[in-house]
């Protein structure tokens, strides 16, 4: 799911809406986290084995909803074109772009450009080994780096082990800790909304740069607060420390939350997109495993130094983002190839939307009977 969904949304969305569409996946995740935290808070008042069985059992409900809803999803137009099903691809694009009008001029133009890219990519083939060679190696490093650094923001430390952090700050009862955790989830939901509304206007680069800088600043403030004061003995300081945690989560939610999934889903050519996304997603989960395993030990042994280290890591990440993350907003997936043909330094990339001359004629009424790839010489 974590590999296929961003890729599907990236392929199905219009260029000017791609950030919002892929961001919806992250927003849905934040809703799931918030609802699960809310259920945990409610179940904290229950005695006996139902306290943990009920949250586990309720997870079957969204699974059933997803299973049913998948039957109503259109295929990716790019996937259909790659398999020679131009008629179906036109219908899918019409449904996604023109309210079902498959013969709209904009649909035909986009289909021509997708077809052109597919024809060119077929000549090159695809294999995992190709990802290790130029020019795809740069994109692979960027995609894996985005997923790796998303985990090194420490977000899962704050989301999974916030109860231990809150307990160290001074919260005592199970209910108060569960309530603060539920608020943590709510902050995550609300702070993701700006990315949905304005990510395609702001751009990927400035969004991630601002978010990374904010995370570093709030981690630094939290570490200094924990170092200088005994926050567990002063209510106002404990509240300030909890607010720092919430601000880190909010900074992550509008930046790294959606962008770490968006960037890898849009930077690879279609012929290797599935393979590349499997590698970048695997990087995310491997890093997730390492962070999850190390976090309780580091919280216990390092204390405030953990948050200082995370602040330093985020400052270094901001520099890397400035140097190497190019802007891809409002570009079609086919045009993004030209961005990576530009300078390796992202701040020097021209990021111009290229003019593309249609090289193929697919006709205005492509159907299952004439789904033949025809190249115009």
- Helix 256-266 / helix 235-254 crossing angle, nearest 10 deg: 20
354, pLDDT greater than 50: no
pTM of the model: 0.80
**Least confident segment among 158-162, 199-203, 371-375:** 371-375
Angle at 89 between CA 84 and CA 92, to 5 degrees: 160
Determine the average pLDDT of the residues in 240-258.
95
Span 42-98, pLDDT tens digits: 988 888 888 888 988 998 998 899 899 988 888 889 889 988 899 999 999 998 888
Q: How confident is the model at residue 260 (pLDDT cuts 50, 70, 90)?
A: very high
**Least confident segment among 69-78, 164-173, 279-288, 363-372:** 363-372
- The answer to whether residues 218 and 327 touch, using CB atoms and an 8 Å cutoff, is no
Report which of residues 99 and 257 the model is more confident about: 257
**What integer pLDDT is reported at residue 44 of this predicted model?**
84
Q: Which residues contact 134 (CB under 8 A, 6 or more apart)?
A: none
Average pLDDT over the chain, rounded to an integer:
86
3-class secondary-structure state, position 352: coil
173, pLDDT greater than 60: yes
Determine the average pLDDT of the residues in 242-254.
96
374, pLDDT greater than 80: no
Dig out the tokens for 10 from the structure.
Answer: 């990236």
Q: How confident is the model at residue 125 (pLDDT cuts 50, 70, 90)?
A: low
- The answer to whether residues 188 and 34 touch, using CB atoms and an 8 Å cutoff, is yes
- The answer to whether residues 269 and 210 touch, using CB atoms and an 8 Å cutoff, is no
Determine the average pLDDT of the residues in 255-263.
95
**What integer pLDDT is reported at residue 350 of this predicted model?**
52
**What integer pLDDT is reported at residue 370 of this predicted model?**
40
Backbone angles phi, psi at 211, to 5 degrees: -60, -40
Q: How confident is the model at residue 263 (pLDDT cuts 50, 70, 90)?
A: very high
**What integer pLDDT is reported at residue 353 of this predicted model?**
45
């Amino acid at each position: 799911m974590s590999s296929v969904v961003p890729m599907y949304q990236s392929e199905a969305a219009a260029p000017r809406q791609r950030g919002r569409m892929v961001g919806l996946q992250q927003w849905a995740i934040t809703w799931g986290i918030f609802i699960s935290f809310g259920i945990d808070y409610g179940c904290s008042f229950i005695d006996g084995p139902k306290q943990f069985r009920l949250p586990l059992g309720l997870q079957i409900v969204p699974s059933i909803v997803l299973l049913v809803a998948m039957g109503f999803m259109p295929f990716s137009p790019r996937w259909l074109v790659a398999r020679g099903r131009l008629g179906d691809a036109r219908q899918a694009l019409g449904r996604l772009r023109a309210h079902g009008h498959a013969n709209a001029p904009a649909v035909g133009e986009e289909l021509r450009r997708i077809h052109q890219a597919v024809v060119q990519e077929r000549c090159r083939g695809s294999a995992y080994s190709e990802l290790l060679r130029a020019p795809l190696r740069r994109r692979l490093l960027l995609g894996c780096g985005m997923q790796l650094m998303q985990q090194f923001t420490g977000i899962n430390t704050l989301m999974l082990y916030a109860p231990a952090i809150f307990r160290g700050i001074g919260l005592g009862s199970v209910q108060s800790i569960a309530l603060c955790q539920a608020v943590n989830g709510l902050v995550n939901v609300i702070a993701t909304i700006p990315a949905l509304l304005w990510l395609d206007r702001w751009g990927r680069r400035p969004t991630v740069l601002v978010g990374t800088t904010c995370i570093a600043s709030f981690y630094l403030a939290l570490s200094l607060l924990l170092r200088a004061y005994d926050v567990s003995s002063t209510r106002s300081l404990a509240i300030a420390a909890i607010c720092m945690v919430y601000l880190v989560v909010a900074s992550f939610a509008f930046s790294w939350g959606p962008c770490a999934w968006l960037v890898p889903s849009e930077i690879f050519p279609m012929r290797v997109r599935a393979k590349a996304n499997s590698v970048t997603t695997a990087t995310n989960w491997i890093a997730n495993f390492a962070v999850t395993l190390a976090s309780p030990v580091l919280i216990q042994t390092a204390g405030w130094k953990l948050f200082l280290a995370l602040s330093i890591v985020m400052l270094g990440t901001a520099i890397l983002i400035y140097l190497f993350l190019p802007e891809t907003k409002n570009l079609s997936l086919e045009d993004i190839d030209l961005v990576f043909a530009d300078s390796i330094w992202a701040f020097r990339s021209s990021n111009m939307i290229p003019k593309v001359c249609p090289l193929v004629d697919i006709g205005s009424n492509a159907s299952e009977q004439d789904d033949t790839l025809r190249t115009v010489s």
